[in-house]
Amino acid sequence: MKPIHVTADTFPTEVRDSDVPVLVDFWAAWCPPCRVISPILDELAERHEGRIKVAKVDVDAHPELAAEYRVSGIPTLVLVENGEATRTLVGARPLAVLERELGLVEQAA
């Protein structure tokens, strides 16, 4: 499943009421690191379909959502589980690192 673009209107249904954890990518078109992490998030969404959903929020179009989640730098990734933010990750990172940080793969011993 590809990442979905959410707005202030669709955020409650797509993110807060989701029955699977949602990784929310707070991004902006002018942000180079946001462009770097975008294909990584596409891959994450496809690899872990059914286990996690990826939602994208354009901070320029929806500053109220960025403010609600205290986004001060982008890209900021917020993991929302059962309607609550449980983890915040700031900055781009490789897919393998992101998967480990989100608990989607086993840690190497």
Domain contains 104:
no
Average pLDDT on 66-92 reads: 96
Average pLDDT on 55-60 reads: 98
Residue 108: per-residue pLDDT: 54
Catalytic one of 31, 41, 78, 80: 31
Beta strands in 16-75 (DSSP E): 22-27, 53-58
Domain contains 106:
no
How many domains are contained in the chain?
A: 1
Mean pLDDT of the residues in the chain: 94
Residue 107: per-residue pLDDT: 57
Q: Residue 9 sits in a domain of what CATH number?
A: 3.40.30.10
Residue 3: per-residue pLDDT: 95
Domain contains 109:
no
Domain contains 84:
yes
Type and span of the H or E element at 97 = helix 95-101
Catalytic one of 15, 34, 57, 102: 34
Residue 105: per-residue pLDDT: 83
Q: Above 70 in pLDDT, residue 109?
A: no
| Interval 90-99: pLDDT, tens | 999 999 999 9
Domain contains 10:
yes
91 is catalytic: no
Task: Provide the token pair at 12.
Answer: 């409650």
Domain contains 65:
yes
Domain contains 107:
no
Domain contains 31:
yes
Q: Which domain holds residue 40?
A: 4-99
